[in-house]
A and B are shown apart, each in its own frame.
With several copies, the nearest count.
Chain A
């Protein structure tokens, strides 16, 4: 289930082997557990898995050999359990229902014990409906859309100053965006977002701003005594960090002369 990432591989391809897309897993293929996990998680739920099993064998949805499909389905569910995958409860429910259908088919059918809703019919109805929307989702994905296939034509209006309207962004939405960035950044190990006191980075910005207007500033002027020891430490760390990143230079022209900081 890949609900948490926008970028994903083509939904049809189950795997890529030596550059070739495989839509169906070869039988008797040794699959490393990690890859199997990915494969199983590429299903959007039990209906999707069932559809896959049915379509893989070119079976008609209306006429599924329940016994065989149930057997295969249970195999996958067992695999998922074996690998301790977080198995959505829907998968287990489906397993229970398949077994129910299977056992019902073994019993002689009598009019009295026929339930109002036959689970077999119910399942076929469900599968057909889901298959429809799965297809609709694929169709939707192929419609021409903004940013990918078509671009909006706009023209500057140089004579009228553009009015800037700040969008209404809520605090929680911003935090959520940040959380996603962290998740993504962790994939780029060389760019780990380090844990760093924000006050230092803020002070770095402030120092750069001061230097922007003054070019050169007395080192001691950057410290504010009223901020206390913690403030001094933050300022010092900020200066050192800026120097380390070669954003500022710390200069002392003569011994014992005042230390200067400049851009």
Chain B
């Protein structure tokens, strides 16, 4: 890891965190190396505040920490910024809403354990912004985690009358396979007609999602004498 000015690290972190950051957050960035002193961080933040004083954005301290925000007097221009007409969505968004639909009421931790990967606050916030999920209650365990469920708006968006219109999970796969075949026929122009006897020697490839994981976690075992 090369030497980097603390101020630059703090600056880049503030711009990419998507939430206000506290001094503790900055210290947490230094996992592999000796963290800086809190005093040094405060000095860097102050320097940044001064450097941005005359710019289009400013570094402010709000209740939950430090954050950059645009100067209020630029609003007249910025309001003309066109939001993207069709914003991009990630697979994480799709998977998260699908899990909530099937497993509600569910906590974020539980979603993460099904996905096998962290679910960012941003995704939960976006789904709430779309009004597709809401907090139903809080679980009576330490931390009182929120329990999420889908909304009427979610059902409406996908033209569902109620949740039981969602295909049962067990059928989902078979259906998809059937639909795929149908789809194959639909896009037939791109496809060659394959004589049936050739199909026999060309068994379709099976999906082997487990394989990679197997290789990673369970590499070749060499038997020791």
A and B are partners in one complex rather than unrelated chains = yes
A256 contacts the other chain (CB 8 A): no
Interface size class of B (residues with CB under 8 A): 35 or more
Task: Give chain A nearest CB distance to B163 CB in angstroms.
Answer: 4
The segment out of A71-79, A186-194, A216-224 that lies at the interface is A186-194
User: Residue of B at shortest CB range from A127?
Assistant: B116
B168 to chain A, nearest CB (A): 7
Residues from chain B with Cβ under 8 Å of A149 in the complex: 72, 75, 159
Considering only residues 33-47 of chain A, those with a C-beta below 8 Å from chain B are 34-35, 37-38, 41-42, 44-47
**What residues of chain B have their CB less than 8 Å away from a CB belonging to chain A?**
12, 15-16, 18, 57, 67-72, 75, 78-79, 82-95, 97-99, 101-105, 113-118, 120, 122-123, 129-131, 136-137, 139-141, 147, 149-150, 156-160, 162-164, 166-173, 175-176, 179, 197-199, 201-216, 218-223
Given A37-B211, A86-B205, A88-B205, 15 additional A-B pairs, CB 8 A: A5-B209, A5-B212, A30-B223, A90-B117, A97-B222, A132-B171, A133-B169, A151-B69, A167-B88, A170-B198, A175-B98, A176-B176, A178-B99, A193-B103, A197-B164
Enumerate chain A interface residues (CB-CB to B < 8 A).
Answer: 1-9, 11, 15-18, 29-32, 34-35, 37-38, 41-42, 44-48, 86-90, 92-94, 96-97, 100, 115, 117, 119, 122-123, 126, 128-130, 132-141, 143-160, 162-185, 187-188, 191, 193, 195, 197-199, 201-202, 204-205, 208-209, 211-212, 245-247, 263
17 contacts across the A-B interface (CB closer than 8 A): A2-B208, A16-B216, A42-B215, A48-B117, A86-B204, A93-B215, A94-B116, A119-B222, A122-B221, A137-B97, A150-B70, A159-B70, A167-B93, A172-B207, A175-B176, A181-B114, A208-B136
